[in-house]
Amino acid sequence: MPHTYITDGAEIYRQSFATIRAEADLARFTPEEEIVTVRMIHAAGMVGLEQHVQFSPDMAIAARAALEDGAPILCDAYMVSEGITRKRLPRENEVICTLRDERVPGMARDMANTRSAAALELWRPNLAGAVVAIGNAPTALFHLLNMLEDPECPRPAAIIGCPVGFIGAAESKEALMQDLPVPSMIVKGRLGGSAITVAAVNALASRVE
């Protein structure tokens, strides 16, 4: 006997977001933050994720304004850069991931660091006013924070810091919110990942669900 299921994509989205809003505790978020958080919950399939989401004041507003002004999006991993929905970007924003640049392996050896961290050195020409999306590597987030300790380093407009994992992920995100070099948001603890990070970017890029 054939399975019956909802086949209308728009209706699936409508019911999904309605379910999230009915079940998740979103009361502490501003309207701009709620849009982002709901999409992150949807990407994770996890009501309860909202308990771990933390925004610095006005981060969502700053990131959305930067995107609407044409800011590039700098990504630590191709799983992030390829997941961003280009048609949602308000100004055909450039999406940049430097991880596969041929210079990166040598830079990583010279720095005695990971390729993910070394690749960020190639962000410098595009870093000023950018929206940073780190969804994979804690070493990338730590290295970015070290870069931003230099007052001459260009400053991004906002940082989405959601690296995932068991070693360094929680610590790197805690360090981001303690240093807070620019408006930032995180998913606290070991949780995170590319899908959640992409969802945050897509929500900031367009309010359309």
The answer to the question of residue 153 being in a domain is yes
Answer whether residue 99 is part of any domain. Answer: yes
What is the pLDDT confidence band of residue 209, given thresholds at 50, 70 and 90?
Answer: confident
Q: Specify the pTM.
A: 0.96
Distance between CA atoms of residues 189 and 50, nearest Å: 12
Q: At what angle do helices 9-23 and 31-44 cross, to 10 degrees?
A: 110
Question: How far, in Å, CA of 120 to CA of 27, rounded?
Answer: 36
Mean of the per-residue pLDDT values for the chain? 97
Residue 52 known to be catalytic: no
Q: How confident is the model at residue 208 (pLDDT cuts 50, 70, 90)?
A: confident
Domain membership flag for residue 21: no
Q: What is the DSSP letter of 154?
A: P
Q: Which of 138, 186, 139 is nearest to 161 (CA)?
A: 186
Strands of the chain (E only): list them: 53-55, 73-75, 95-96, 131-134, 158-161, 184-187
Identify whether 187 is part of a domain. Answer: yes
* Rounded CA separation 152/41 (Å): 37
Q: Are 134 and 74 in contact (CB under 8 A)?
A: no
Side-chain half-sphere exposure of 132, counting CA atoms within 13 A: 33
Q: Which domain holds residue 145?
A: 54-205
Q: Is 38 part of a structural domain of the chain? A: no
Q: Which residue has tokens 């998913």? A: 187
CATH classification at residue 154: 3.40.50.10230
- Indicate whether 201 pLDDT > 90: yes
* 3-15 average pLDDT score: 92
Percentage of residues in the chain with pLDDT exceeding 70?
100
Whether 180 is in a domain gets the answer: yes
CA pair distance 169, 67, nearest whole angstrom:
26
Q: Is residue 111 part of a domain?
A: yes
The yes-or-no verdict on residue 151 having pLDDT over 90 is yes
In a domain, 131, yes or no: yes
How does pLDDT run across 21-73, given as a tens digit for each residue?
999 999 999 999 999 999 999 999 999 999 999 999 999 999 999 999 999 99
Strands 95-96 and 131-134: unpaired
CB distance 140 to 119 below 8 Å: yes
Q: How far is CA 166 from CA 40, 136, 144, 163, in A?
A: 20, 12, 19, 10
Of 2-11, 77-86, 166-175, 177-186, least confident by mean pLDDT is 2-11
- Model pLDDT, residue 69: 98
The residue whose two tokens read 């210079």 is: 103
Domain count, the chain: 1
C-alpha distance from residue 52 to each of 26, 34, 189 (Å): 12, 13, 8
